[in-house]
């Protein structure tokens, strides 16, 4: 391909809202163009990269034995009503009506569509298992589309759905998908980590995420320094904190003037925050109501919101406003477990179970209680609520846990029978008995990966594509295309490399100066450049490595073999 024939509108201007390198560089280097909030067009270079990633995903999915299909981007809302998700998906589900007033949605994921496809077509256990996948557009009306391709509203996802006659067979396929995904990210040339994850709105049990390691990742990943334990902080666990047990004392109310925070109370009473209860007041949102909830964790811990949301089966948790707190009869800063108003829901972190002699608020301005004994309170609801902290102990091996940042590039779920039951999709088992399909589902963020490659691989000048994702492997830069000898050698090397099967682009632009061509090379991030310039008189050209920016002089006749060696 020749630069002069390819639409590559590079620019020095960075969009105002672009904070991430991938967002800035993909726009500046002419890969993508934004048309609306969270909506992007792919220009020629962007389309090449997107298709390369798509091809790798397709190849590995096909190798795994999955079948490619394609679902409609538009799905009747009725299917979503059947599964129950019409009312639980919230505003991310974009609905609209056609001219006949029938309701539809833009597919954000396709569990309903695939169940509809398989239902009544697979009727016997003999025709199971099957895994159907597509690589197609999704739409989610994200509350905060941002970071360019990272969190779009319209995006490209690979979604796969498997059907089984037993939970064991689902586990087999789930493990096969994990291996398949590892091959995909390895082929793409990415550093990644597989971690335990929360199942979110998709539902089901047992899920794993695949994270591309990058400082700018939105997710916090907890990893162990001694074993391969890894989990999204939303699902991470630890060996329970354990300090010496205190003696049981009788409960006592003490004045703690202006001590609203755990730090203030602990300092005032000269106690360890470990032996206190921190109350976090939230408003849980359900389909048809909201509910004030008080979550209690140790004073030295923090509440993990996703765990908290799951503990009360809410659609989401919001911060409680001052009015909510007052109306519920709670006293901010002094909320405690004893004598709470009946209308609030209470959940206590499971690490506090069995504890005595604790400090907590007295539900009265400026007062706390000492000597609170949880064993004396019946019917308390305990759940895992804490956010694992750096330095905590690994639940598998007691090694030290630490944080790293990741970009969620894939997510696999063991769904079970949630959708097949809701949509009445059954098969006949070997005894002739009707059973709901056991299902799994598996997603890869194909367009998010375009951005993730750059988040992990860039410098201050621009993109550093991996070999598998680079739009072209080699950029032949003719320093001055008006010089006939330079242009001629450029063409010659171009043809030679192309014939050798190298993906190569020739920067033959007549009116672009060398500096401009060079900065385009650096911004776009082709792995190598062959620069044809001053040394041509001695029969030499320069090969530039984009990553290190190191230059080597190579004889014209050796360019082909040198490039083939480099790109191996």
User: Which residues bind to ligand ATP, rule: CB under 6 A?
Assistant: 109, 140, 142, 151-152, 155, 157, 200, 202, 408-411, 443, 445, 447-448
* In the complex, least distance from residue 452 CB atom to ligand ATP, rounded to whole angstroms: 8
Of the candidates 467, 469, 464, which has an alpha carbon nearest to the alpha carbon of residue 450? 469
Tell how far CA 62 is from the center of its chain.
24
Residue with tokens 């700018």: 216
Q: Which does residue 58 touch among Mg ion, ligand ATP, none (CB within 5 to 8 A, set by kind)? A: none
Residues of span 51-70 touching Mg ion by CB under 5 A? none
Sequence-separated (6 or more) residues with CB below 8 Å from residue 124: 427, 428
**Part in contact with Mg ion (CB under 5 A); list of ranges 7-15, 154-162, 330-338, 410-418:** 410-418
Q: How far apart (Å, rounded) are the C-alpha atoms in residues 174 and 288?
A: 35
* In the complex, least distance from residue 191 CB atom to ligand ATP, rounded to whole angstroms: 16
> Measured from the CB atom, is 219 or 558 closer to ligand ATP?
219
* In the complex, least distance from residue 200 CB atom to Mg ion, rounded to whole angstroms: 6
Per this entry, what is the length of the chain? 568
Q: Which does residue 517 touch among ligand ATP, Mg ion, none (CB within 5 to 8 A, set by kind)? A: none
Determine contact, residues 271/298, Cβ cutoff 8 Å: no
175-213: b or e for each residue (b if 16 or more CB lie within 10 Å)?
ebbeebbeebbebbebebbbbbbbbeebbbebbbbbbbb
* In the complex, least distance from residue 444 CB atom to ligand ATP, rounded to whole angstroms: 6
Q: How far apart (Å, rounded) are the C-alpha atoms in residues 249 and 425?
A: 58
> Measured from the CB atom, is 159 or 486 closer to ligand ATP?
159
Measured over the CA atoms of residue 335, residue 341, residue 343 and residue 347, the dihedral's sign is positive
> Measured from the CB atom, is 204 or 336 closer to Mg ion?
204
What is the DSSP-derived secondary structure letter of residue 54? H
> Measured from the CB atom, is 66 or 505 closer to ligand ATP?
66
Q: Which does residue 370 touch among Mg ion, ligand ATP, none (CB within 5 to 8 A, set by kind)? A: none
User: Nearest to ligand ATP by Cβ — which residue?
Assistant: 445
Distances in Å between the alpha carbon of 231 and those of 118, 183, 240, 244, 389? 33, 20, 16, 29, 12
Q: Which does residue 409 touch among Mg ion, ligand ATP, none (CB within 5 to 8 A, set by kind)? A: ligand ATP
> Measured from the CB atom, is 298 or 307 closer to ligand ATP?
307
Q: Which does residue 448 touch among ligand ATP, Mg ion, none (CB within 5 to 8 A, set by kind)? A: ligand ATP
> Measured from the CB atom, is 411 or 418 closer to Mg ion?
411
**For the chain, how far is it from start to end, CA to CA, in angstroms?**
21
Measured over the CA atoms of residue 271, residue 274, residue 275 and residue 276, the dihedral's sign is positive
Determine contact, residues 220/338, Cβ cutoff 8 Å: no
* In the complex, least distance from residue 218 CB atom to Mg ion, rounded to whole angstroms: 11
Measured over the CA atoms of residue 21, residue 23, residue 29 and residue 31, the dihedral's sign is positive
Q: Which does residue 142 touch among Mg ion, ligand ATP, none (CB within 5 to 8 A, set by kind)? A: ligand ATP
Q: Which does residue 522 touch among Mg ion, ligand ATP, none (CB within 5 to 8 A, set by kind)? A: none
Among 411, 448, 458, 546, binds Mg ion (CB under 5 A): 411
> Measured from the CB atom, is 219 or 373 closer to ligand ATP?
219
**Part in contact with Mg ion (CB under 5 A); list of ranges 90-98, 403-411, 500-508, 509-517:** 403-411
> Measured from the CB atom, is 280 or 409 closer to ligand ATP?
409
Tokens of residue 28, six digits: 């500046």
Residues in binding contact with Mg ion, number by CB under 5 A: 1
User: Nearest to Mg ion by Cβ — which residue?
Assistant: 411
Q: Which does residue 148 touch among ligand ATP, Mg ion, none (CB within 5 to 8 A, set by kind)? A: none
Q: How far apart (Å, rounded) are the C-alpha atoms in residues 33 and 44?
A: 11
Sequence-separated (6 or more) residues with CB below 8 Å from residue 453: 22, 49, 53, 188, 189, 190, 212, 465, 466, 469
* In the complex, least distance from residue 411 CB atom to ligand ATP, rounded to whole angstroms: 3
Q: Which does residue 140 touch among Mg ion, ligand ATP, none (CB within 5 to 8 A, set by kind)? A: ligand ATP
* In the complex, least distance from residue 196 CB atom to Mg ion, rounded to whole angstroms: 12
> Measured from the CB atom, is 109 or 216 closer to ligand ATP?
109
Q: Which does residue 426 touch among ligand ATP, Mg ion, none (CB within 5 to 8 A, set by kind)? A: none
* In the complex, least distance from residue 413 CB atom to ligand ATP, rounded to whole angstroms: 8
Q: How far apart (Å, rounded) are the C-alpha atoms in residues 18 and 16?
A: 6
DSSP string of 198-217?
Answer: --GGG--EEEEEEEEE-TT-
* In the complex, least distance from residue 410 CB atom to ligand ATP, rounded to whole angstroms: 5
* In the complex, least distance from residue 410 CB atom to Mg ion, rounded to whole angstroms: 8
171: number of Cβ within 10 Å: 15
Sequence-separated (6 or more) residues with CB below 8 Å from residue 226: 394, 397, 399, 400
Q: Which does residue 189 touch among ligand ATP, Mg ion, none (CB within 5 to 8 A, set by kind)? A: none
Strands 205-213 and 401-416: antiparallel
- Name the residues that contact Mg ion, by CB under 5 A: 411
């Amino acid at each position: 391909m020749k630069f002069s024939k390819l639409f590559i509108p590079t620019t020095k201007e960075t969009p105002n809202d672009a904070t991430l390198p991938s967002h800035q560089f993909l726009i500046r280097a002419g890969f993508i163009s934004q048309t609306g909030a969270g909506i992007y067009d792919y220009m020629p270079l962007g389309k090449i990269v997107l298709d390369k990633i798509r091809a790798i995903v397709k190849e590995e999915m096909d190798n795994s034995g999955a079948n490619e299909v394609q679902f409609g981007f538009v799905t009747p809302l009725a299917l979503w009503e059947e599964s129950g998700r019409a009312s639980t998906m919230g505003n991310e589900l974009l609905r609209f009506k056609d001219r006949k007033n029938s309701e539809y949605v833009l597919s954000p994921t396709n569990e309903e569509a695939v169940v509809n496809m398989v239902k009544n077509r697979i009727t016997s256990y003999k025709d199971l298992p099957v895994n159907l996948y597509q690589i197609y557009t999704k739409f989610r009306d994200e509350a905060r589309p941002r970071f360019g391709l990272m969190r779009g509203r319209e995006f490209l996802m690979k979604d796969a759905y498997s059907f089984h006659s037993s939970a064991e067979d689902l586990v087999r396929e789930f493990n096969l998908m994990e291996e398949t995904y590892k091959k995909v990210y390895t082929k793409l040339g990415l550093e990644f980590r597989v971690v335990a994850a929360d199942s979110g709105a998709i539902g089901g049990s047992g899920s794993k995420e695949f994270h591309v390691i990058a400082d700018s990742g939105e997710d916090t990943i907890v990893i162990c320094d001694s074993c391969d334990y890894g989990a999204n902080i939303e699902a991470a666990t630890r060996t329970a904190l354990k300090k010496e047990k205190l003696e049981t004392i009788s409960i006592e109310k003490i004045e703690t003037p202006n001590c609203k925070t755990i730090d203030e109370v602990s300092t005032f009473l000269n106690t360890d925050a470990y032996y206190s209860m921190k109350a976090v007041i939230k408003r849980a949102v359900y389909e048809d109501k909201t509910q004030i909830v008080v979550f209690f964790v140790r004073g030295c811990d923090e509440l993990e919101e996703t765990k908290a949301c799951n503990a009360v089966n809410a659609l989401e948790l919001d911060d409680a406003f001052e009015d909510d707190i007052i109306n519920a009869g709670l006293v901010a800063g002094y909320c405690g477990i004893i004598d709470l108003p009946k209308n609030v829901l209470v959940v206590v972190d499971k690490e506090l179970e069995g504890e005595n002699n604790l400090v907590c608020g007295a539900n009265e301005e400026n007062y706390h209680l000492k000597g609170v004994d949880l064993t004396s309170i019946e019917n308390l609801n305990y759940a895992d609520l804490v956010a694992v902290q750096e330095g905590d102990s690994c639940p598998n091996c007691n090694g030290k846990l630490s944080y790293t940042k990741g970009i969620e590039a894939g997510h696999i779920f063991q769904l079970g029978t949630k959708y097949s039951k809701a949509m009445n999709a059954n098969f006949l088992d070997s005894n002739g008995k009707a059973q709901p399909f056991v299902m799994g589902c598996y997603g890869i963020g194909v367009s998010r990966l375009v951005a993730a490659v750059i988040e992990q691989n860039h410098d201050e000048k621009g993109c550093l594509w991996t070999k598998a994702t680079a739009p072209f492997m080699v950029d032949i830069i003719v320093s001055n295309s008006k010089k006939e000898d330079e242009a001629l050698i450029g063409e010659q090397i171009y043809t030679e490399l192309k014939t050798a099967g190298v993906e190569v682009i020739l920067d033959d632009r007549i009116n672009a100066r060398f500096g401009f061509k060079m900065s385009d090379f650096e911004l776009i991030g082709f792995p190598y450049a062959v620069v044809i310039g001053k040394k041509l008189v001695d029969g030499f050209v320069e090969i530039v490595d984009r990553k290190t920016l190191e230059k080597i002089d190579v004889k014209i006749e050796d360019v082909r073999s040198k490039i083939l060696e480099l790109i191996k």
